Structure 1
Amino acid sequence: MGYTNTRQCLDALEAKGELVQIDKAIDANIEIGAIQRRVFQAGGPALLFTNVKGCRFPMAANIYGTKERMQFIFRDTIETVKRLMKLKLSPLDALKRPWQYLGAPRTAWHTIPRKKKWGPVLENETTISRLPQLISWPMDGGGYVTLPQVYSESPDAPGYAGSNLGMYRVQLSGNDFIPDKEIGLHYQIHRGIGHHHAQALENGEALKVNIFVGGAPAMTLAAVMPLPEGVAEIFFAGAMGGHRIPMVAREGGLPIPAESDFCICGTVSKGVEKPEGPFGDHLGYYSLTHDFPVLKVDKVFHRTGAIWPFTTVGRPPQEDTVFGDFIHEMTAELVPSVFSGVHEVHAVDAAGVHPLLLAVGSERYVPYAEERQPQELLTNAMALLGNTQTSLSKYVFISAREDMPAGLNCHNIPEFFRHMLERVDLKRDLHFMTRTTIDTLDYSGISLNQGSKLIFAAAGKRQRSLATEMPSGMDLPRGFRDPQIFAPGILVLKGPKHQKKRDYQDPALDRLAQSLAKAKGIEGFPMVVVADDANFTAMDWDNFLWVTFTRSDPATDMYGVGGFTHAKHWGAETAVIIDARLKTYHAPPLEADPDVEKRVDALGAPGGPLHGII
Structure 2
Amino acid sequence: MRSLPSYPSLRSFLDWCAKTDQFQRVSDPVSVIHQMTAVHRNVLETQGSVLQFDHPVLQGGVGSDVPVVVNLFGTAERVAAGLGVSPERLDDLGAFLAALRSPTPPDGLRDALSRWPMLKAALATRPKILRSAPVQTVVLEGAEVDLAALPVQTHWPGDAGPLITWPVVVTRPFGSEVADVSCYNAGIYRAQVLDHNRLILRWLPHRGGAAHHQSWAQQGERTPVAIVLGADPATLLSAALPLPDTVSEVSFAGALNAARPRLVQAKTVPLMVPADAEVVIEGWVSPSETAPEGPFGDHTGYYNRAEPFPVMEVTAMTHRENPLYLSTYTGRPPDEPAIIGEVFNRLALPTIRAQIPEVHDLWLPPAACSYRMAVVSINKRYPGQARRVMMALWGMLPQFSYTKMIVVVDRDIDPKNWEDIAWALATRMDPVRDVMVIENTPMDYLDFASPQPGLAGKMGIDATVKIQSETSRDWGEVMKTSQKDAAFAADLVARLMAGAGS
State TM-score, norm by structure 1: 0.67
AA at the equivalent of 1:167: I
2:483 aligns to what? none
Q: Is 1:55 equivalent to 2:64 in the alignment?
A: yes
Q: Provide the rounded CA distance (Å) in 2 between the counterparts of 1:203 and 1:437.
A: 29
Moved more, 90-99 or 434-443: 90-99
Q: Secondary structure, in 3 states, of the residue corresponding to 2:160?
A: coil
Query: Which structure 1 residue ranges, 5 or more long, are not aligned?
Result: 465-614
Q: How much does 1:101 deviate?
A: 5.1
CA distance in 2 between counterparts of 1:436 and 1:339 reads: 21
The amino acid across from 1:114 in the alignment is K
Structure 2 counterpart of 1:307 = 324
Q: Which residue of 1 aligns with 2:238?
A: 222
Deviation at 1:458, TM superposition (A): 4.3
| Letter of the 2:46 counterpart | A
Q: Residue in 2 aligned with 1:45?
A: 49
Shift of 1:52: 1.0
Residue in structure 2 matched with residue 195 of structure 1 by the alignment: 211
Task: Tell me if structure 1 keeps the 8 A contact 2:341–2:370.
Answer: no
Deviation string 1:176-201 (CA, Å, 9 cap, x unpaired) is x3x12321111235322232233233
How far is 1:225 from its partner? 0.6
1:87 and 1:438, CA in 2 relative to 1: closer, same or farther beyond 3 A? closer
Tell me how far apart the structure 2 counterparts of residues 189 and 338 of structure 1 sit (CA, whole Å). 26
Of residues 95, 106, 112 in structure 1, which corresponds to 2:126?
A: 112
Answering whether residue 173 of structure 2 is matched by residue 168 of structure 1, we say no
- The whole-number CA distance in structure 2 between the counterparts of 1:218 and 1:52 is 26
Q: 142, 161, 165: which one pairs with 2:161? A: 142
Corresponding residue of 1:451: 456
Q: Contact (CA 8 Å) 2:181, 2:272: kept in 1 or not?
A: no
Cα distance in structure 2, aligned partners of 1:252 and 1:282: 32
Matches within 5 A, 1:154-165: 154-158=173-177, 159-165=180-186
CA shift at 1:127, angstroms? 2.1
1:8 pairs with 12, 31, 37, which one?
12
The amino acid across from 1:319 in the alignment is E
Deviation of 1:69 (Å): 2.9
Structure 1 residue 109 displacement after superposition: 1.7
Specify which of 402, 405, 409 is matched with residue 392 of structure 1: 402
* 1:198-209 map, 5 Å: 198-209=214-225
Residue 128, structure 1, aligned to residue 144, structure 2? no
> For 2:415, what is the secondary structure of its paired residue?
coil
CA distance in 2, matches of 1:120, 1:246: 11
- Alignment correspondent of 2:486: none
Match of residue 289 from structure 2: 272
- The aligned counterpart of 1:298 is 315
Match of 1:66 among 75, 94, 108: 75
Superposition map of 1:431-580 within 5 A:
431-461=436-466
Does structure 2 retain, via aligned residues, the 8 Å contact 1:166–1:193? yes
Say whether the 8 Å CA contact 2:262–2:274 is kept in structure 1.
Answer: yes
Please tell me the residue identity of whatever aligns with 1:84. F
Residue number among 416, 420, 440 corresponding to 2:421 in the alignment: 416
Paired position in structure 2 for 1:557: none
Q: Do the aligned residues in 1 keep the contact of 2:190 with 2:202 (CA within 8 Å)? A: yes
Partner amino acid for 1:49?
A: F
Q: How many equivalent pairs are there?
A: 447
The 3-state SS of whatever aligns with 1:334 is: helix
Candidates 248, 257, 276, aligned match of 2:264: 248
CA distance in 2, matches of 1:239, 1:35: 35
Deviation at 1:90, TM superposition (A): 7.7
Contact map agreement 2:224 2:270 (CA 8 A) in 1: yes
Q: Distance in 2 between matches of 1:75 and 1:181?
A: 36
Could you list the per-position Cα deviations for residues 488-507 of structure 1 after superposition, in whole angstroms to 9, with x for gaps in the alignment?
xxxxxxxxxxxxxxxxxxxx
Relative distance call for 1:452 and 1:294 in structure 2 (3 A) is: farther
* 1:598 equivalent in structure 2: none
**Matched residues in 1 for 2:222 and 2:130: separation?**
26
Q: Which residue of 2 aligns with 1:473?
A: none
Which fold has the larger relative contact order, with Cα–Cα distance below 8 Å and residues 6 or more apart in sequence?
2
* CA gap 1:411/1:329 in 2 versus in 1, 3 angstroms: same
How many angstroms does 1:460 deviate by?
A: 4.4
Deviates more, 1:270-279 or 1:453-462: 453-462
> 2: CA distance between counterparts of 1:457 and 1:228?
30
In structure 2, the residue matched to 1:84 is: 96
Deviation at 1:38, TM superposition (A): 0.6
What residue number does 2:335 align with?
318
Q: RMSD between aligned alpha carbons? A: 2.8
Q: Distance in 2 between matches of 1:19 and 1:312?
A: 18
SS state of the match for residue 186, structure 2? Answer: strand
Q: 1:57: how far off?
A: 0.9
Other-structure match for 2:494: none
Q: Give SS of 1:215's match.
A: coil
Residues 440, 449 of structure 1: 8 Å contact kept: yes
Deviations 1:293-323 (A, max 9, x none): 2222222221112111111121112222221
Amino acid at match of 2:263: M
Residue 232 in 1 paired to residue 232 in 2? no
Conserved in 1, the CA contact under 8 Å of 2:84 and 2:256?
no
CA 424–156 in structure 1, closer or farther in 2 if over 3 Å, else same: farther
Match of 1:385, SS? helix
- Structure 1 distance, partners of 2:18, 2:262, is 25
Q: Contact conserved, 2:213 with 2:287, CA < 8 A, in 1?
A: no
Q: Distance in 1 between matches of 2:162 and 2:440?
A: 34
Q: TM-score, normalised by structure 2?
A: 0.81
The residue number in structure 1 matching 2:344 is: 327
Q: Distance in 1 between matches of 2:18 and 2:108?
A: 38
Against the structure 1 CA distance between its residues 149 and 390, is the aligned structure 2 distance closer, same or farther, given a 3 Å change threshold? same
The AA in structure 2 aligned to 1:43 is Q
Cα distance 1:427–1:72, how it changes in 2: closer, same or farther (>3 A)? closer
Sort the Cα spacing of 1:436 and 1:156 in 2 relative to 1 into closer, same or farther, 3 A: farther
Q: Write the letter of the residue equivalent to 2:231.
A: G
CA distance in structure 2 between the aligned counterparts of 1:384 and 1:151, rounded to whole angstroms:
30
Match of 1:26 in 2: 30
CA distance in 2, matches of 1:183, 1:108: 35
- Aligned partners of 1:344, 1:208: CA distance in 2, in Å? 42
Structure-2 change in CA distance of 1:292 and 1:414 (3 Å): farther
SS in 2 for 1:298: strand
Which residue number corresponds to residue 183 of structure 1? Answer: 199
Q: 2: distance between equivalents of 1:8 and 1:419?
A: 47
CA deviation vs aligned residue, 1:380-434 (integer Å, no higher than 9, x gap): 32332233211111122234xxxx253x232223312432443334334433333
| One-letter code aligned to 1:37 | R
Matched, 1:337 2:354: yes
